[in-house]
Amino acid sequence: MTNTQVTLLQIDNYGPWTVTPEPRREADLQTLQSRLYADVSQFVGTRDGYVFFTRFDNIIAVTNGLSLEDHALLQESVDNRYPVTLSLGVATGRTPAQALSDATALLQEAGSAQDKNRRECLEGRTIDDAHRTDGDVQIAHFDVIDATGEYTDELNAFDTFIEIEQGYASLMRYMRRAHDSLAFFVGGDNVIVVCPDLEADAYEEAIHHVEDEADVELQVGVGRGDVAHEAGMAAKHALEGCRANGTRVELDW
């Protein structure tokens, strides 16, 4: 059974900071946001977690394997190197959406995202090592079948982008409502979804739903592990199986 540990990282008072004393150059904000995200991805990723840029001022991570001390160190490192600070909420749950909901509530109780007195909160709890299992995390890696041939080499780059966005938006809503899962676009034509215990039929239905609703054809590889990196790498290999076998759904187990 999955037991996903989810961390919500929120930049403190970011909206006001971006316009004080005056609006800041947009290209600089984009650079700051992207590099902050990249640093969080390295810190968490080299500890075998996964990080999704989400809205950049609110970043969601799967942090099974990271302790609260790890979270505090990340927070301190960001404070030493950036003009902004992060508040972190950590929670675990039967489903990824439940865990994220609890993580969000921890921060909301500490104060508004734009409360200038709320700085560098660290709230929540991680899973004791003794209670961790190989089935804690389930990751599904979807991509668009032959995106390069169907879209990238055929349509203009924005129309390709619209098609992929529509496919993502459809999958994201469906997986959230049907399965309490969290779906994230990760570049190219790839969407990574953090799931509870789902079997092949759930993924087949999701693929049919997106095909019907958005006319985008997906395939998916699914993996499990005690940490996001294990589950996600197994999912990537399973996805290579879809390419090799011409199948739409491949589970790593």
- 194 to 253, contacts with its own copies by CB under 8 A? 229, 232-233, 236-237, 240
Which of 86, 90, 122, 164: binder of its own copies (CB under 8 A)?
164
Which of 104, 119, 132, 248: binder of its own copies (CB under 8 A)?
104
Helix 68-81 and helix 26-45, axial crossing angle in degrees, nearest 10: 150
Q: Bridge partners of 252?
A: none
Report helix, strand or coil for 124: strand
- What minimum distance in Å lies between the beta carbon of 233 and its own copies? 7
8 membership: H or E segment, kind and range: strand 4-11
Do residues 88 and 71 touch, judged by C-beta distance below 8 A? yes
Q: Candidates 78-86, 130-138, 195-203, 245-253 — which segment interacts with its own copies by CB under 8 A?
A: 78-86
Residue 157 makes contact with its own copies by CB under 8 A: yes
Residue closer to its own copies by CB (options 26, 201) is: 26
Which of 1, 21, 27, 212: binder of its own copies (CB under 8 A)?
27
Residue 119 makes contact with its own copies by CB under 8 A: no
Q: Beta strands of 63-181 (E only): which ranges?
A: 86-93, 122-124, 137-144
Which of 69, 72, 81, 178: binder of its own copies (CB under 8 A)?
81
Whole-angstrom distance, CA of residue 33 vs CA of residue 228: 23
Amino acid at 158: F
Q: Bridge partners of 77?
A: none
Which of 26, 128, 201, 212: binder of its own copies (CB under 8 A)?
26
Question: What end-to-end distance do the CA atoms of the chain give, in Å?
Answer: 14
Q: CA torsion sign, 44 to 79 to 83 to 16?
A: positive
- What minimum distance in Å lies between the beta carbon of 201 and its own copies? 24
Residue 169 makes contact with its own copies by CB under 8 A: yes
37-76 residues near its own copies, rule: CB under 8 A: 37-39, 41-46, 49-51, 53-58, 60, 73-74, 76
- What minimum distance in Å lies between the beta carbon of 215 and its own copies? 13
